[in-house]
Structure 1
Amino acid sequence: MSGPLEWRRLDGRVVLALLILVLAPLVPTVAVMLLAGAGLVPLAITTGSWLAAAALLAGLSALDWWFTSYRIGEERVELRKGALSRSRRSMPRDRIRSVDVTADPVHRLLGLAVVKIGTGAQGEDEFKLDGVARPDAERIRAALLLRDSTSDAPEDGGELARLRPAWLLYSGATASLILAVWGAIGSTVGSFSEVLRKFDVYRTIGEEFRAAPLWLGIGLPLLAAVGTGVLGSLLLSVELWWGFTLTREGTGTLRVRRGLLTQRSISLEEERLRGVELSEPLLLRWVGGARTHALATGLSESADGKQPDAKTLLPPAPRGQAARVGAAVLREREFPGAGLTGHPRAALRRRVTWGALAALPFAATAAGLAAAGWLPAGLAGAVALLAVVIGVGAGVDAYRGLGHRLHGRYLVSRRGTGVRRTVALQRDGIIGWRFERSVFQRRAGLVDVVATTAAGSGRCAVPDVLLGDGLVFADEAVPGLLTPFLEPVSRD
């Protein structure tokens, strides 16, 4: 990398990368038009317009490249850009908390990468150097994350986890990936609707459905949808997580590297780490899987819709492996998720009641259809009974998932049934307490104890504990924080 005061432009190949991205969809578009029977004039107009737009965008990209430059000084990182409206931004190096390197297939083909430099502050824009030579990107990352000799970060490092191919099978039980696959298929069908109609695909499917028995006409498409979703989620997981490694670097940084086509390198400074969460979505929990997430300051809770959050430290994997990685990240011998204190029976009644109430609309709908003669009475009764059983079962499962404890320097809380979350939060990362009670909780003598923190979503809840027990638990978790607000109660 050049001297610290030298302004540098991005790599000029970034213009070629944009041109490839713009022109790539032209080929399938022309192919679809040919299949749909488009004439030469529409094809010529489409191709000419596309090429003209590509040339215009390439020109604008070249102009932007010419007027964009950056430099890395001893104390600051600076970026200036803009042809007509010039802007110049500066970021102190001592505030840099993450340097992430990403390379999509086009960037990899051209030997480029995107470097994202962030401070970890919520709502603050990051520096983005889109179009840096890959060797330079790695040098920038190493230079910006280098600690001073006076840093108290532990100087140990090593690999904490590496993807095992068998773990990819757990993605078949990941509902979010299955829904993403179904959405992509639906969008593709909509895009090729004219071609499908031209070749009478819709009419053929309709005729086959009417000719087949009802159980086969419904069961076969349902089975195909589930199978396609599972298979698609496996393929998507391969793209997202292939080559995954989690390492602890001697600079006090956790680094995640992953991706088959689009490669990503995501860094997390351990100084920002406030705890670890084991996440077990229902389907994944049924097959014994879990994910491991980081609770850290400055990490966004939302994903970009296509990629996992920056907080993800381990993809879907066996729960034992997720717990092992969580313990390694926390520098503990084992993850503090066992031996949790149960919650009072009143919490069970609340969850069973809510589960039964959630089943009422389904039971009422079945009864209405039976009254209208659209559904046999026996089938309607079975549907209503099944809805109640599922609702009550979900309530019991939610209660069984409740638990909390203090384990060394961590507050541990577990809750949830659709997504069961076990959180180990550093007690010194708790900055306040909230005690929330609904009308029904007050009648049952229960309270939600919520630890507020600057990490993750900003809160870690211990729901439905007895009021006195909740106050004692909070006071023991962070001694002195609640003392000015507590009064001793006489037991006479």
Structure 2
Amino acid sequence: MATGETGRTAPADRPVAGGAVSAGPDGGPGAAAGPPGEWRRLDPRSLLVTGAVMGGVAGGICLPVLLGLSSGAWFGNGPRRGIGLTLLVTASVLLVVGSVAADWAGLRRTRYRIGPERVDLHSGLLLLKRRSLARERIRSVDLTAHPLLRLLGLVKVRIGTGESGGGESSLELNPVSRAEGDRLRAELLGRPAGPAAAPPGGTLARFDLRWIRYAPTSFLTFAIGSAAAGAALQISDWFGVQEDLIGRTGDLVRDRPLALVVPVLVLGALLTGAVGALGLWLEMWWGYRLEREPGGVLRVRRGLFTTRSVSVAEPRLRGVELVEPIGVRAIGGARVDAVATGLAEADGDRHADARGLLPVVPRAVADGVAALVLREPRPPTGAPLTRHPRRARNRRLSWALAAALLPAAALAAAGPWLTPVLLPVAAGYALVALPVGTALALDAYRSLGHGIAGPYLLARSGTPSRRTVALQRTGIIGWTITETFAQRRAGLITLTATTAAGAGAYSVHDAGTSEGLAFADAAVPGLLTPFLVEIPEAAGGAAPENRPPVIAR
């Protein structure tokens, strides 16, 4: 028997508050939903989902075999083809029936119970698992439904504690009816179910089709375009026409200049990726709504084919993070993520989209939604920030210079020994890397900033994806101060605010030493004070009120 996160469950025959255990056909708990504390079963309509999925799998496996049978390449013609077709159909039927039978056996052995203090889940066919979560530790009840589940009115419910304990920190009920999923969410999060859950005026943001213009500017565009080219080659190989496809492509570009061929190929990949990015954006954000429900819960609902419903309780919200990828930033867009406790994902699934409160939208809209989420009259993410010393810019320029010149020098040095072709390659690399690296270094410096806006600490950094976090100062539980040898010589430090929410740590990179220490001490008064000392007057020569703080070593 495998024990869950708490390792303690009530015996199956022990009476529980709100109702006694009812006996099912197999002698176990009954399937019908009843009073609180009664054992319940998953929805048996999942058998239809399993049958449909495995039928699709069987069809995908059988298609190449059918093509081979039709051509006579594998079994020849005549009776042998009929025998092959019979074996193929039999194997497909056995796959579907066997999968449905295994799912039915699993359903018979799976039951769950919502007690006054705990949520219990018993499952397993050969390896019995009894899992239990304390209700006061539950931080999230999220609902998802792919198209087959939606067609049958079912949802998958994930109940989590928000801890990073793998699968032991969450329970998954897959599937239950849509009504049961809504009831579980309302009951476990302590809020009323039904139409009263979304009062008039509770909507903070809703879907706007104009936001789709930001989709092609993401990093996914080039990735999808490259993947499409690879998929085309793979599919052509399946049908034995890969060499012909490569030959025809070579004939098209052989007599054309390279300066024309490369841009055309890149443009084609980008256009393909842009179409894919548009489709992916629609699937993820169609029907998006951000609502504030009674009891202080932010609920995000979205999805075209697979619907998702993610809830964030405001008492565990510690701030927001404004994210601006470089392509999106170039046209004035940003997205908003939640910084909250209890959003750690289980089962190795990072679920980065669980933190997403808002897709990429115009920056002004993102700031406005951030203010609404935090119940602030003005958006903290739009407050002015303190710029960092020029020494921080010099560090980034030196990194860019090293990244451009060191590889070029290595290639140029290897050229006389290996092949002269490396000499023009080194020159071309340096000509491209030097201006690009310099531009990125300057952008990285401009992205640096920190400040205090009322109850929030602000920290901004990043070039590929610039992030501005507005973190509640009361949520900071510690500071980590680091300085490398190069930073110490330049008079710079990196301050990292430790918190129980979001990523767990947020850094202020390359701040001036005295200014950074004063900022950390002002952000959370008293937390850093025991580790600070003043420079003696004889040594510093400044008045006591003007002496910069230094860290005690």
Taking structure 1 as the reference length, the TM-score comes to: 0.91
The question of 1:239 aligning with 2:283 is answered: yes
The alpha carbon displacement at 1:28 in A equals: 4.1
User: What do the CA deviations read for 1:409-436 (whole angstroms, capped 9, x no partner)?
Assistant: 1100111111111011110111111110
Match in the other structure for 2:154: 112
How far, CA to CA, are the matches of 1:95 and 1:291 in structure 2?
29
Residues 376, 441 of structure 1: alpha-carbon distance in 2 compared, 3 angstrom cutoff? closer
Match in the other structure for 2:467: 421
The question of 1:284 aligning with 2:284 is answered: no
Identity rate, percent: 44
The alpha carbon displacement at 1:366 in A equals: 7.2
Opposite residue 49 of structure 1, the aligned amino acid is A
The 8 Å contact of residues 396 and 441 in structure 2, kept in 1 or not, is answered as yes
Opposite residue 440 of structure 1, the aligned amino acid is A
Greater displacement, 36-45 / 189-198: 36-45
Match in the other structure for 1:316: 360
The question of 1:99 aligning with 2:137 is answered: no
The question of 1:431 aligning with 2:477 is answered: yes
Match in the other structure for 1:73: 115
The 8 Å contact of residues 171 and 233 in structure 1, kept in 2 or not, is answered as yes
Of the candidates 448, 451, 458, which is equivalent to residue 504 of structure 2? Answer: 458
Residues 380, 184 of structure 1: alpha-carbon distance in 2 compared, 3 angstrom cutoff? closer
The alpha carbon displacement at 1:197 in A equals: 1.9
Greater displacement, 305-314 / 50-59: 305-314
Give structure 2 stretches of 5+ with no counterpart: 1-32, 75-80, 193-198, 542-553
Of the candidates 129, 144, 160, which is equivalent to residue 204 of structure 2? Answer: 160
How far, CA to CA, are the matches of 2:378 and 2:348 in structure 1?
32
Greater displacement, 40-49 / 418-427: 40-49
The 8 Å contact of residues 266 and 310 in structure 1, kept in 2 or not, is answered as yes
The 8 Å contact of residues 225 and 270 in structure 2, kept in 1 or not, is answered as no
Match in the other structure for 1:203: 247
The alpha carbon displacement at 1:307 in A equals: 6.5
Of the candidates 49, 52, 71, which is equivalent to residue 20 of structure 1? Answer: 52
The 8 Å contact of residues 276 and 292 in structure 1, kept in 2 or not, is answered as yes
Residues 185, 269 of structure 1: alpha-carbon distance in 2 compared, 3 angstrom cutoff? farther
The question of 1:137 aligning with 2:169 is answered: no
Of the candidates 306, 310, 315, which is equivalent to residue 262 of structure 1? Answer: 306
The alpha carbon displacement at 1:481 in A equals: 0.9
User: What do the CA deviations read for 1:66-104 (whole angstroms, capped 9, x no partner)?
Assistant: 111112223322211223333322222222211111110
Match in the other structure for 2:40: 8
User: What do the CA deviations read for 1:361-400 (whole angstroms, capped 9, x no partner)?
Assistant: 56447757987554896x9656523321111111111111
How far, CA to CA, are the matches of 1:133 and 1:51 in structure 2?
28
User: What do the CA deviations read for 1:197-220 (whole angstroms, capped 9, x no partner)?
Assistant: 279333322332324443343332
How far, CA to CA, are the matches of 2:273 and 2:410 in structure 1?
29
Match in the other structure for 2:388: 343
Opposite residue 52 of structure 1, the aligned amino acid is L
Opposite residue 13 of structure 1, the aligned amino acid is R
Match in the other structure for 1:49: 91
Q: Matched residue of 1:251: which SS?
A: coil
The 8 Å contact of residues 178 and 233 in structure 1, kept in 2 or not, is answered as no
The 8 Å contact of residues 58 and 95 in structure 2, kept in 1 or not, is answered as no
Opposite residue 88 of structure 1, the aligned amino acid is R
How far, CA to CA, are the matches of 1:368 and 1:413 in structure 2?
43
The alpha carbon displacement at 1:118 in A equals: 1.0
Of the candidates 467, 475, 481, which is equivalent to residue 521 of structure 2? Answer: 475
Residues 227, 404 of structure 1: alpha-carbon distance in 2 compared, 3 angstrom cutoff? same
Of the candidates 271, 276, 294, which is equivalent to residue 250 of structure 1? Answer: 294
How far, CA to CA, are the matches of 2:379 and 2:65 in structure 1?
57
Residues 393, 205 of structure 1: alpha-carbon distance in 2 compared, 3 angstrom cutoff? same
How far, CA to CA, are the matches of 2:249 and 2:531 in structure 1?
69
Match in the other structure for 1:384: 430
Of the candidates 143, 164, 167, which is equivalent to residue 122 of structure 1? Answer: 164
Match in the other structure for 1:410: 456
How far, CA to CA, are the matches of 1:94 and 1:191 in structure 2?
52
The alpha carbon displacement at 1:165 in A equals: 0.6
Greater displacement, 182-191 / 411-420: 182-191
The 8 Å contact of residues 135 and 188 in structure 2, kept in 1 or not, is answered as yes
Match in the other structure for 1:357: 402
The alpha carbon displacement at 1:357 in A equals: 1.2
Backbone CA RMSD of aligned residues: 2.7
The question of 1:446 aligning with 2:478 is answered: no
How far, CA to CA, are the matches of 1:310 and 1:185 in structure 2?
31
User: What do the CA deviations read for 1:326-367 (whole angstroms, capped 9, x no partner)?
Assistant: 121111122223310111111110011111111125644775
How far, CA to CA, are the matches of 2:451 and 2:345 in structure 1?
25
How far, CA to CA, are the matches of 1:232 and 1:74 in structure 2?
47
The alpha carbon displacement at 1:32 in A equals: 4.1
User: What do the CA deviations read for 1:107-126 (whole angstroms, capped 9, x no partner)?
Assistant: 11222110111112222431
The 8 Å contact of residues 366 and 384 in structure 1, kept in 2 or not, is answered as no
Residues 262, 283 of structure 1: alpha-carbon distance in 2 compared, 3 angstrom cutoff? same
The 8 Å contact of residues 36 and 114 in structure 2, kept in 1 or not, is answered as yes
The alpha carbon displacement at 1:290 in A equals: 1.2
Opposite residue 388 of structure 1, the aligned amino acid is L
Residues 185, 54 of structure 1: alpha-carbon distance in 2 compared, 3 angstrom cutoff? farther
Match in the other structure for 2:447: 401
Match in the other structure for 1:151: none
Greater displacement, 207-216 / 359-368: 359-368
Q: Matched residue of 1:130: which SS?
A: strand
The alpha carbon displacement at 1:178 in A equals: 4.3
Opposite residue 340 of structure 1, the aligned amino acid is L
Opposite residue 380 of structure 2, the aligned amino acid is P
Q: Matched residue of 2:183: which SS?
A: helix
Residues 328, 178 of structure 1: alpha-carbon distance in 2 compared, 3 angstrom cutoff? farther
Taking structure 2 as the reference length, the TM-score comes to: 0.81
Opposite residue 53 of structure 1, the aligned amino acid is L
Opposite residue 51 of structure 2, the aligned amino acid is L
Opposite residue 263 of structure 2, the aligned amino acid is G
The 8 Å contact of residues 30 and 43 in structure 1, kept in 2 or not, is answered as no
Opposite residue 402 of structure 2, the aligned amino acid is L
Of the candidates 179, 183, 207, which is equivalent to residue 223 of structure 2? Answer: 179
How far, CA to CA, are the matches of 2:414 and 2:331 in structure 1?
36
The alpha carbon displacement at 1:180 in A equals: 4.6
Aligned length: 485
